[in-house]
Every structure is written in C-alpha cells, then in structure tokens.
Amino acid sequence: MTRTICAIRGALPAVLLALAGCPSLVQHSTRHAPGQVDLSQPPAREVGDPAAYDPPDDPGENRVAILPGASWGMGAGRTGGSAGEVAVQLRFTFPESRDRSLGKDEFPAPWAAWGGTIGWGIAQPPLDSMQHPSHRTVGGPIYAEVNRTWLYATVGVGAAIYPSSPEVGPQISATAAIYMVRARYLPESGFEIFGGFQLELPTVWTWSR
Amino acid sequence: MAVASLATACLPPRVLRDYPRWRIVGGQSFARDCLRAEAYVRKSGKTGIGVTLVLRSLHDCAVEIRRAELVFPDGHRAAATADARALAPMVGRTLRYHWLPLPFDNDAAWDDGQRDATLELELAIAGQPVVWRMPAQHRWDQRWNDTRLVRR
C-alpha cells in the first residue's frame, strides 16, 4: 500500500504539470472575435500610409472550464472504521479574471472562480478488515458542492446523499493541486472524513467578451 | 545583459490573439474633377470601423460627403453621422486626412458570417453628385501573433 501511495505521489505532480502546458485542452471559440476599438478618435498618427492600421485592444474573454476528475482518499468511512473512498466527479468553473485574453498555448489557472461539482463515491473499501472482518466494502454517496477556486486550490460546500438509505448530510471539501480533504456528516452513520489525492483533467472553452 | 538575452531567447514565444479586420479590396482610389481621394480602413473592431479619407484638391474644390455607408448584401447599412461627414472647404491645393467612423454592431456581423460589404460614399463635387463604391471584406488572416517575431 505504501509503495502504491508513493508511486501515485510521484506520478501525479508530473501529470499535472504536463496537463498545465497542454494547449489542446483550451478551445478558443471564434464567437465575438473582433477586438475593441475607439472610433471617436482618429488614428494617433496619420500620414496617409496605405499600410497603416491601428490594431484593436484586447476585449478580454469569457471562460468556462469543465474538469472531470477522480479521487482516492483514506480516513473514516460509513462503516465506522478506517476506510478508503474512490470517487469520480465533474466540476465546472467560471473564472472571473477575464480582462486579458489567453495566449495560444497558455493554460488558464484562474485567480478566482466560482463553480460547482457533482460527484459519486463509488466505493468505500475497509482498510481495517484484518482487525474487523465484518467491515465490508460499501458504496459511497452522491454529492454536490458549490466551489470557490483560487489558482490550484478549491474549497467546496454542499451536500451528500446515500440514495439507498436515503440519508442526507452536509459535505465540505478542500483541494490544493493534487491533495484533497473531504468531510461529511450523516445523521445516522456520523462523520466521514477522507484525505488523499485527486486528479482532474481540465478542458477550457474561451470566447471573446 | 548577455545572460538576459540568452534567457529571452530560450523562452517560448508569446503568442497572442489577433482579430478580424475589415479591408477595402477594390476601388480604393478615386478621382473626379478637382478631387483626388483614397480610403483606408484604419480601425476595425466590435463597434464598427474607422476609415481615413485622404482628400487632395487640385484647386478650390467644393466637396460634400452626403452619405457614407457600409452596405451589406442583406441590405443592412451602417451609416456615418452628419457630424462625421462634415467637411471644411478645400481651398487651393489642399491635402486633408478626414476621419470617418462607421459605427455598427460588428460582433453581430461577424457572428452572422457577414464577410463582404460595400463602402459607399455619395459625394457632391462642385454640386455634382457622384457615388464612390469600394468593396470590402472582413478577414481574419492570422489567428495568432507571435510577439517574439512580430512586434506591433
């Protein structure tokens, strides 16, 4: 287990860095493509040069990012003992710093963005099955969060639901780059908390303001 | 300085967005009676285009711009205001650069795929009306500018 964790810790930063420099993850729409001009003023310097042209200013751009991701965390799960949680999720963000358009190969890590996440804890395998043979793998909850993102850090607040019970409770999460902490409280089974790793594969769409 | 130069050379180029631009593609020069004129699109953006008219008079020349419009194939017209069309008298041999803004929703025109239009100027030279037509195209020749190689 330790070796696996070390392997993940070694590989994920490299993957993250590779993704950050991958231009194909940014899709630039041609909508509203013209730039910003001030027609109230003539060109600053007019000498009748046929080739002269005042290039427009950057109007900035709108952006939306969709980040499918997966996470693996260890901590206290629904069964009461130590457990892991494997989850998949889909996060959307709407970055706010839009005054400058991105360069061709520039990947936008947002200074600040609101967003939302929906996710599913696929499974919570027990990590203490040697000591507690009765602990079995159980399914995790479905969750939804509102997120606030700053660069590579995100905090989220929302709710988790175990559809089979059904049992609903609040959930909070925090991520920084590939590191993740997620906690929730369910009225019947109590607190759950997991810390671990999360990897997201971002795709960003941009279009001119 | 050498270290700085080397570091700059090793950095990847900064590639920035370029923008679509209206260009006059024909009939750019005009000559009639006492007037010689040329037209150049100097600004092109979301809110319209700005054209510089280079006007030369051969001698005293009474010139009016009665109408200045960018006419789209669907019949839509973007017109210059009366203030923008106002010309002071051209006395003797005069060279004048006249700024003629044509405001319109160019974002909508671009999004609608309108890439061709005609710049029409209805002039009156010594009281005689004449229409100067210039086909224009909205082009996006390059999507990105490499700022290491191309400095504007």
Q: What is the pLDDT of residues A147-172, one digit of tens each?
A: 999 989 999 999 999 988 889 999 99
Mean pLDDT of the residues in chain A = 87
Rounded to whole angstroms, the Cα distance separating A113 from A107 reads 15
- Residues on B contacting A at a C-beta cutoff of 8 Å: 12, 14-17, 19-21, 28, 38, 40-50, 52, 54, 95, 97, 99, 101-103, 106-107, 110-111, 140, 143-144, 152
Model confidence pLDDT, tens digit, residues A114-136: 999 999 999 999 998 888 888 88
CB contact under 8 A, B47 and A39: yes
Question: pLDDT class for B145, splitting at 50, 70, 90?
Answer: confident
Distance from CA of A33 to the nearest CA of B (A): 6
CB contacts of A31 in chain B (<8 Å) are 111
Q: If you count residue pairs, one on A and one on B, with CB atoms under 8 Å apart, how many are there? A: 100
Continuous segment of H or E residues that includes residue B4: helix B2-10
Count of the separate structural domains present in chain B: 1
ipTM above 0.90, yes or no: no
Instruction: Confirm whether A70 is domain-assigned.
Output: yes
> What is the domain-level CATH number for residue B75?
2.60.40
B30-68 per-residue burial string, b: 16 or more CB within 10 A, e: under 16: beeebbbbbbbbbbbbbbbbbbbbbbbbeeebbbebebb
Instruction: Confirm whether B50 is domain-assigned.
Output: yes
Which residues form the domain of A169?
A: 2-26+60-208
Which residues form the domain of B116?
A: 19-139
Instruction: Confirm whether B34 is domain-assigned.
Output: yes
For A62-85, what is the mean pLDDT?
Answer: 93
